[in-house]
Amino acid sequence: MSTITAILEPDVDGTLHLPIPAEMRSAKVKVTATLESVGSRPSQTEAIEALRTLSRLGTFGDIEDPVAWQRETREDRREDFEKFLASVPDVPPMPGDEI
């Protein structure tokens, strides 16, 4: 069993997506959820101050090419998703995939 506390932002359709530990990805997972509103989004001033703090800390300083980093991150997610789809029977092909 694993206890996770997370603040998630709902997608436009109202769904939430919760990442789970790798060791739990190969079986069904029981989820017990308590939904609690945590308030509104931060103000523009708060968001700017948070970005300034990250900058002062050098949080992203080791990322030499942000565009390449984002591309690699998206590709990793796509590979994970394709592995997941391969493990699920009778899933129709994704748009653009050869049939």
Examine residue 52 and state whether it is found in any structural domain, yes or no.
Answer: yes
3-state secondary structure of 66: helix
pTM for the full predicted model: 0.35
Q: Is 6 domain-assigned?
A: no
Range of the domain at 33: 22-87
Note whether residue 93 is domain-resident.
no
pLDDT tens for each residue of 53-69? 988 988 888 888 988 88
Question: How many domains are contained in the chain?
Answer: 1
Per the domain annotation, does 77 fall within a domain? Answer: yes
Amino acid in position 28? K
Alpha-helical (H) ranges within 1-99 are 44-57, 66-87
Angle at 13 between CA 95 and CA 74, to 5 degrees: 50
Instruction: Tell me which residue of 50, 37, 48 sits closest to 8, measured CA to CA.
Output: 37
Residue 25: CB atoms within 10 A of its CB come to: 13
Within a domain: residue 7?
A: no
Report the 10 Å Cβ neighbour count for 85: 13
pLDDT in tens, 17-62: 888 888 888 889 888 888 888 887 788 999 999 999 988 988 888 8
